[in-house]
Amino acid sequence: MQARNRLVATAAAVAATVVVTGCGTSTGSEAGSAAAGGGGGEGYPCDADEVTIGGLWAQSGPQAAYGEWFANGTEMAVEDVNAEGGIGGQTQIRLQVEDTRALPEPAVVAFQGMVADGIQYVLSSFSSQTLALAPIAANEEVVLVNGGAQSDALGEQGPFLFNTIPLLRNESAALAEKLYEDGVRSAAIIYTSDDGGEAARENFEAAFTELGGEIAGVESAEFGGTDFRSQLTKLRSTDPEVLLLGAFGQDSNNIISQVREIGWDVPLANTSWVAIPAVLENPAAEGLRLTTIPFEPSEEFQQEYQEKYGEAPESAFIGNYYDGVTIFAEAFQHVCDSGAETVSGAALADAIREIGTFDSVYGSELTFEEGTASRPIDLAVIEGGAVRPVG
């Protein structure tokens, strides 16, 4: 299946255009509604010259490193679709981004503004944020696509939320199994008190104890906190064979540093969300075991990304958000090809379910199973500032 060939017509290439507005920047209500296709949930006209999709992620704060990946994948996909003539050789995609700082409250405000402007398709991120948006999306019949959050609760949010990333339970189970196979029989857990951290703790604890492992101790910590030494000192006294970090972003990096600062040489483990640049550059992370979602884009994609952003596309998050845009383009065309004159959020959601399997920039296919992507999971270790696969 050649999805990109289906979503865009074979037309003379035009200059790629991405319009990004940030938090605190306004395009004006009339301009926003026109680009979106009209407010009040009317939908995008099939003959529109331009339609707007939304992006909600952290552009500031401790989780901004993820937001950069999310933005890069999304913007590059928008440019690629637009450069090939747009959807159906006619309709350009415009991207409107708002900074949520990975927090639910600003995300809800930004999302409600997008809904008021008639935007029917929004890319989201982070578990607490996306879980806050999901019931609003269902009520307003706006498609919400998540490529960066993994709380298991995201698989139970109804027909308007689609996850282009596997949920955390799959990675936690794979990590627990690998550690147990390697002879680890006791583990301690430190986790942050957000939805993702809670899910990481629950999933690893369930999988590891089911295998026969023992949880020596568990400590919770504030999401976005800076000092984890008290919790780490308590866990150190339990003498586990490995410390599982139920945290991501700067939280995970701070925990990793402080484990070594208190003189604790315990082996560390986490899931794929830990592998941000700050962690890879942290000498204290050497030897950390983690899960990975294999991301093997084409050489053409890698070269384009390198030229655009000055670095290799090493994170699977990039692919999740690139896929989110091409899924929109294919679903939009699917609805219009059915004879519809407008494309509503409900029609887009139905189209995604009807199509089911999409070509993915990963170099494979993406199949939604009850709204969540099925992707393979591998095991790796951080060595020399890089993620190295292990058998």
DSSP secondary structure, 306-320, as one string = HHHHSS----HHHHH
Rounded to an integer, the average pLDDT of 34-61 is 81
Rounded to an integer, the average pLDDT of 318-327 is 98
Rounded to an integer, the average pLDDT of 151-166 is 93
User: Which pLDDT score is estimated for 233?
Assistant: 98
Using the predicted structure, report yes or no on whether residue 12 has a pLDDT greater than 50: no
Rounded to an integer, the average pLDDT of 138-164 is 95
Q: Is 334 exposed, middle or buried (0-12, 13-18, 19+ CB in 10 A)?
A: buried
Q: Tell me, what amino acid is at 297? A: P
Helix, strand or coil, per DSSP, at residue 178: helix
Q: Tell me, what amino acid is at 52? A: T
Q: Report the greatest alpha carbon distance in the chain.
A: 67
Report pLDDT digits (tens) over 99-127: 999 999 999 999 999 999 999 999 999 99
User: Which pLDDT score is estimated for 36?
Assistant: 57
Using the predicted structure, report yes or no on whether residue 21 has a pLDDT greater than 70: no
Through-space distance between the first and last CA atoms of the chain, rounded to whole angstroms: 31
CA distance 134 to 390: 36
Q: In whole numbers, what is the pLDDT of the chain averaged over residues?
A: 89
User: Which pLDDT score is estimated for 26?
Assistant: 31
Residue 2: count of CB within 10 angstroms of its CB: 7
Using the predicted structure, report yes or no on whether residue 10 has a pLDDT greater than 90: no
Q: Which of 18-22, 54-58, 267-271, 334-338 has the lowest mean pLDDT?
A: 18-22
The confidence band for 3, taking pLDDT boundaries of 50, 70 and 90, is: very low
Report pLDDT digits (tens) over 199-241: 999 999 999 999 999 999 999 999 889 999 999 999 999 999 9
User: Which pLDDT score is estimated for 375?
Assistant: 86
Rounded to an integer, the average pLDDT of 148-172 is 92
Helix, strand or coil, per DSSP, at residue 2: coil
193 versus 239: the higher-pLDDT residue is 239
Q: Report the candidate in 110, 51, 114, 125 with the shortest Cα–Cα distance to residue 348.
A: 51
For residue 324 the two structure tokens come to 């989110």
Mind giving me the DSSP string for 162-174? EESS--HHHHHHH
Using the predicted structure, report yes or no on whether residue 22 has a pLDDT greater than 70: no
- Alpha-carbon separation of residue 237 from 180, 233, 284 (angstroms): 22, 7, 20
DSSP structure class, residue 138: H
User: Which pLDDT score is estimated for 391?
Assistant: 67
Q: Is 15 exposed, middle or buried (0-12, 13-18, 19+ CB in 10 A)?
A: exposed
